[in-house]
Amino acid sequence: MTNVNSTDDVDDELNFREQEEQMEKYGFYWMPVPRDKLIECPQHGWMPTYGMKCRACLHEREKQEQELKAHNEYIRRWNERKDYADIPPRFEKCELSTYQATLPKQIATLNFAQKFVAGFDTIYKGRCFIFSGQIGTGKTHLAIAIANALMRKEGFYVKYTTVSTMIRRVRATWRSDSEVSESEVLNRYAQPMLLILDEVGIQSGSDNELSILFEILNWRYMHRKSTIFITNLTRDKYISFLGARVIDRLREDGGEEIVFDWESFRPILGRQAKEAANHEQDLSNEVGSQIVVDN
Ligand SMILES: Nc1ncnc2c1ncn2[C@@H]1O[C@H](COP(=O)(O)OP(=O)(O)O)[C@@H](O)[C@H]1O
Ligand SMILES: [Mg+2]
Ligand SMILES: [Zn+2]
């Protein structure tokens, strides 16, 4: 096949097969053009021109620019969701894939998390969960892993906060020099599709704190938005902290408690870090001896 389609040697009849080939190869096809409108491109052979330049080259560049633009736009939207989520740097890298599950209960908990992500917008819509258990059992890790997985789905806004940070931020708007209004800040916690509310019940809530909490949770309940509550308290204690009004709403929406009743992961992390350091030391010893051998 030749790319030279000039009026001299091509019939009026369109060569559809050739057009299809062109389309597949270059992403566009061209009608027969006079010879003086053709250029011999080192990359594409004989090609029609546009503004004295090879049209295939121009087309390729345009495609690259579009791809770059789409990529930048994706990054921009991702950063927007990420800023909004407010995940502390320490937990940023928490993923379902790095959640180690060995005990049957841990495996079941991880399975639940995967199902929650998959059905977040459908079967789990508006469902709330309470992650309870001793410190170090991976409650925050798993909740943030869920948030990270959801954030990767376009358009899913999630937010992480501790109860005390949320209340402090709302209260800060009451100062006369506050740059944001109270309703703006309330909205930030009310709107996201998933809110992770960590450290529930760490301080005994004053009436004033509880009414801020209730206002946000009630709005979320009305609009069927999911919340994951994280607490080190036992059931009796977090029920008395959150109060009957909140608990009632949770129950109505099929809220469940997931108890993390296994040992803290922190000693395991310490052991794994030590092993990793030893392994690295072994590797560098190996490298060291190799260099000696090479000499
Ligand atoms: N099952 C697990 N797999 C991997 N890392 C874990 C696991 N459980 C906990 N961790 C890690 O242990 C540390 C403590 O976990 P964290 O989620 O803060 O516990 P909690 O919120 O229950 O107090 C974190 O660094 C977390 O990433
Ligand atoms: Mg935690
Ligand atoms: Zn070209």
Best residue for ligand 1 mutational test, from 103, 263, 265 (most atoms within 8 Å of Cβ): 265
User: Quick one: pLDDT at residue 12?
Assistant: 47
Residue 3 CB coordination number (10 Å): 19
The angle, 0 to 180 degrees and rounded to 10, between the axes of the packed helices 182-190 and 207-222 is 60
Distance separating the N- and C-terminal Cα atoms of the chain: 59
Q: Are residues 53 and 38 in the same domain?
A: yes
- Is 145 in contact with 95 (CB distance < 8 Å)? yes
Q: Are residues 37 and 97 in the same domain?
A: no
Query: What's the mean pLDDT when you consider all of the chain?
Result: 85
Q: Which ligand is nearest to the CA of 61?
A: 3
Mark which of 83, 101, 121 sits at the end of a domain: 83
User: Quick one: pLDDT at residue 175?
Assistant: 92
- CA dist., res. 158 & res. 135, Å (int): 23
Q: Are residues 60 and 96 in the same domain?
A: no
Does residue 291 lie within any of the structural domains? no
Q: Are residues 138 and 251 in the same domain?
A: yes
User: What does pTM read for this prediction?
Assistant: 0.77
Does residue 286 lie within any of the structural domains? no
Is there an atom of ligand 1 within 6 Å of 161 CB? no
Q: Which ligand is nearest to the CA of 26?
A: 3
User: Which ligand 1 atom is at minimum distance from the Cα of 142?
Assistant: 17
Q: Is the model more confident about 106 or about 294?
A: 106
User: Which ligand 1 atom is at minimum distance from the Cα of 90?
Assistant: 25
Does residue 217 lie within any of the structural domains? yes
Is there an atom of ligand 1 within 6 Å of 136 CB? yes
User: Quick one: pLDDT at residue 154?
Assistant: 67
Does residue 165 lie within any of the structural domains? yes
Does residue 289 lie within any of the structural domains? no
Domains held by the chain: number: 2
Q: Are residues 150 and 166 in the same domain?
A: yes
Q: Are residues 52 and 161 in the same domain?
A: no
Q: Are residues 113 and 212 in the same domain?
A: yes
> Atom 4, ligand 1: which residue's CA is nearest?
99
Does residue 285 lie within any of the structural domains? no
Q: Is the model more confident about 276 or about 261?
A: 261
Q: Are residues 201 and 240 in the same domain?
A: yes
- CA dist., res. 213 & res. 245, Å (int): 11
Best residue for ligand 1 mutational test, from 141, 144, 268 (most atoms within 8 Å of Cβ): 141
Is there an atom of ligand 1 within 6 Å of 265 CB? yes
- Is 263 in contact with 137 (CB distance < 8 Å)? yes
Does residue 272 lie within any of the structural domains? no
Q: Are residues 182 and 94 in the same domain?
A: yes
Does residue 189 lie within any of the structural domains? yes
Is there an atom of ligand 1 within 6 Å of 266 CB? yes
Is there an atom of ligand 1 within 6 Å of 94 CB? yes
State the distance from the centre of ligand 1 to the C-alpha of 139, rounded, in angstroms. Answer: 7
User: Quick one: pLDDT at residue 283?
Assistant: 63
- Is 139 in contact with 128 (CB distance < 8 Å)? no
- CA dist., res. 129 & res. 260, Å (int): 13
State the distance from the centre of ligand 1 to the C-alpha of 270, rounded, in angstroms. Answer: 12
Residue 178 structural domain: 86-264
State the distance from the centre of ligand 2 to the C-alpha of 143, rounded, in angstroms. Answer: 9
Q: Is the model more confident about 109 or about 275?
A: 109
293 pLDDT tier (thresholds 50, 70, 90): very low
Q: Are residues 96 and 66 in the same domain?
A: no
Q: Are residues 9 and 38 in the same domain?
A: yes
User: Quick one: pLDDT at residue 287?
Assistant: 55
Q: Say yes or no to pLDDT of 205 above 80.
A: no
- Is 52 in contact with 70 (CB distance < 8 Å)? no
CA dist 108 → 111, 113, 184 (Å): 5, 9, 38
CA dist 174 → 110, 177, 181, 182, 184 (Å): 41, 8, 8, 7, 12
Share of the chain above pLDDT 90, in %: 48
Q: Say yes or no to pLDDT of 95 above 60.
A: yes
Is there an atom of ligand 1 within 6 Å of 232 CB? no
State the distance from the centre of ligand 1 to the C-alpha of 273, rounded, in angstroms. Answer: 14
Q: Are residues 136 and 69 in the same domain?
A: no
CATH number of residue 137's parent domain: 3.40.50.300
Q: For 27-71, what is each residue's pLDDT tens digit?
A: 777 777 777 788 899 998 888 888 889 989 999 999 999 999 999
- Tell me the one-letter amino acid at 71: H
